[in-house]
């Protein structure tokens, strides 16, 4: 009996060892496969009231700003829990709440995603209920840049190229060089950096005033003046001033001015002049982008400049 049992017991033991080995090999294989699995590219989605919507991760979406009940309803139906706006406009927190959604507001410009804002995005991805929907105004430039950073924070497997693909797929204009640079140079925050963040994330930051927007306009304008002084080319001592990037920043800062709620009572002419200066900036940008003749550039530059002065004479000075 004993003799018969022993080989069996040994055989059992052998089986056990072997299956343990098998399990271990399978586990290692699964980990390797998971690590090698490519990060899924962004998937376009069609949602009512929204455009440029993409699913960019299991728990992450990006697209345009919701401006109607239909849009908020579509987000709620999709299962979204948190809406993260990087737009300058103050979000409609109340309407979102009626649809069971909470808002977080981290306004950024078209020139970069500053480190402070990137850390807030990291904090949102880490702490807030998911899935998260990230938006700017049209879901094309600032939103996808923020979403790329969110994705890098959320998923260790996500590489810089995967993150940049989010922007390319959303159609981010390569002339927003600062947005691309912010994603390319983004470092995942350390535990310590995240812990140093002050308090909870704001649901709504008060929109910038005309004064702050003028500072942005003035910044782009003075860069353009340097480009003009260099014969409408990148000044040799300022390789970062690329004409068609700077003229686009000027357009965007006039567009934001145009979108601002009025902080003082103003008449219809003021509104008209805001619209007109946006149009002139667009005309100037077009001339820069298409390398128009110097006399065309000069003429369009002069039109914008005249609009600065006429508006200041009536509404500022």
Please tell me whether residue 272 binds ligand HEC under the rule CB under 6 A: no
Residues 211 to 230: which contact ligand HEC by CB under 6 A? 211, 214-215, 217-218, 221
Cβ nearer to ligand HEC, comparing 78 with 303: 303
- Please, which residue, 56 or 304, has the CB nearer to ligand HEC? 304
Q: In the range 274-303, which residues lie near ligand HEC by CB under 6 A? A: 274, 277
Q: Side-chain half-sphere of 268: how many Cα atoms within 13 Å?
A: 0
Stretch that binds ligand HEC, among 6-14, 151-159, 160-168, 266-274 (CB under 6 A): 266-274
CB of 274 to ligand HEC, least distance (A): 4
Name 132's bridge partners.
60, 82
C-alpha distances in Å from residue 146, one per residue of 61, 180, 223: 11, 10, 25
How far is Cα 167 from Cα 174, in angstroms, rounded to an integer?
9
Residue of 45, 197, 204, 210 interacting with ligand HEC (CB under 6 A): 210
Which pair of tokens denotes residue 291? 């390398």
Q: How far apart are CA 110 and CA 86, in angstroms?
A: 10
Q: How far is the CB of 254 from ligand HEC (least distance, A)?
A: 7
187 binds ligand HEC (CB under 6 A): no
Torsion of CA 9, 11, 16, 17, to 10 degrees: 120
| Shortest spacing between CB 275 and ligand HEC, in angstroms | 9
Q: Which residues of 237-265 are buried (b: 16+ CB within 10 A; e: fewer)?
A: eeeebbbbbbbbbbbbbbbbbeebeeeee
By CB under 6 A, residue 273 contacts ligand HEC: yes
DSSP 3-state of 102? strand
- Show contacts with ligand HEC in window 98-137 (CB under 6 A): none
> Nearest approach, Cβ of 287 to ligand HEC (angstroms)?
15
> Cα(123)–Cα(104) distance, rounded to whole angstroms?
11
Contact positions vs ligand HEC (CB under 6 A): 210-211, 214-215, 217-218, 221, 270, 273-274, 277, 304, 307-308, 311-312, 315-316
């Amino acid at each position: 009996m004993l003799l018969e049992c022993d080989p069996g017991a040994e055989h059992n033991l052998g089986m056990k060892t072997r299956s343990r080995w098998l399990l271990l090999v399978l586990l290692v294989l699964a980990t390797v496969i998971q690590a090698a699995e490519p990060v899924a590219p962004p998937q376009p989605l069609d949602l009512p009231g929204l455009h440029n919507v993409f699913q960019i991760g299991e728990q992450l979406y990006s697209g345009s700003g919701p401006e109607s009940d239909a849009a908020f309803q579509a987000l709620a139906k999709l299962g979204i829990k948190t809406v993260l706006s990087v737009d300058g406009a103050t979000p409609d927190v109340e309407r979102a709440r009626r649809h069971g959604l909470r808002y977080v507001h981290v306004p950024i410009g078209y020139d970069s995603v500053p480190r402070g804002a990137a850390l807030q995005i990291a904090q949102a991805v880490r702490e807030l209920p998911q899935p998260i929907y990230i938006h700017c105004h049209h879901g094309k430039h600032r939103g996808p840049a923020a979403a790329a950073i969110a994705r890098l924070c959320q998923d260790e497997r996500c590489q810089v190229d995967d993150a940049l693909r989010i922007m390319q797929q959303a159609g981010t204009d390569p002339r927003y060089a600062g947005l691309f640079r912010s994603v390319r140079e983004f470092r995942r925050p350390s535990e310590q950096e995240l812990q140093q963040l002050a308090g909870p994330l704001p649901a709504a930051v008060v929109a910038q005033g005309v004064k702050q927007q003028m500072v942005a306009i003035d910044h782009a304008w003075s860069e353009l003046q340097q480009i003009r002084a260099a014969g409408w080319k990148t000044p040799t001592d300022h390789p970062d001033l690329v004409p068609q990037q700077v003229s686009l920043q000027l357009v965007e800062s006039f567009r934001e001015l145009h979108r601002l709620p009025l902080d003082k009572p103003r008449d219809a002419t003021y509104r008209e002049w805001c619209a007109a200066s946006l149009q002139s900036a667009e005309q100037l940008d077009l001339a820069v982008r298409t390398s128009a003749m110097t006399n065309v550039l000069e003429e369009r530059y002069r039109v914008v400049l005249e609009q600065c002065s006429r508006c200041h004479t009536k509404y500022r000075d």
